[in-house]
Amino acid sequence: MADFFKVLSEVSRLQIVCSLKTGAKNVTEIIEETGLGQANVSKHLKMLTQAGVVAREQRGVCVYYRIANPFLFELCDLVCDALTMQVEQQSQQLQQLSQLRQSR
């Protein structure tokens, strides 16, 4: 489990995963969508494929990459929701502290 989350902990890999949310893409399409360099995209796709996050599919002379298991986006949504709640709670605490400081 730690290795799975480690693979997803890198910003460039998350960008690639997000670009594949709309469907399978080849390396050129991923580069265009993410703005990352070709060598960088290829390196990260290899890691994502080895981790089982992304699957490869040969179509003629092109290789297309897709998300291997769509549950990944449900997981990302859960994490994003939890982080949003955490930030909102921290914001409320900061507002309360600010009000306390102003009332002194």
Q: What is the CATH number of the domain that holds 7?
A: 1.10.10.10
Could you please report the per-residue DSSP string of 40-99?
Answer: HHHHHHHHHHHTTSEEEEEETTEEEEEES-THHHHHHHHHHHHHHHHHHHHHHHHHHHHH
* pLDDT at residue 39, as a whole number: 96
40 & 23 share domain: yes
pLDDT in tens, 38-81: 999 999 999 999 999 999 999 999 999 999 988 887 888 888 89
pTM above 0.85, yes or no: no
CA angle 37, 76, 72 (to 5 degrees): 80
Q: Which residues pair with 55 in a beta bridge?
A: 66
* pLDDT at residue 51, as a whole number: 92
* pLDDT at residue 70, as a whole number: 83
49 & 3 share domain: yes
28 & 44 share domain: yes
Number of domains in the chain: 2
The whole domain housing 77 covers 69-103
* pLDDT at residue 5, as a whole number: 87
Residue 98 has, within 13 A of its CA and on its CB side, a CA count of 6
54 & 79 share domain: no
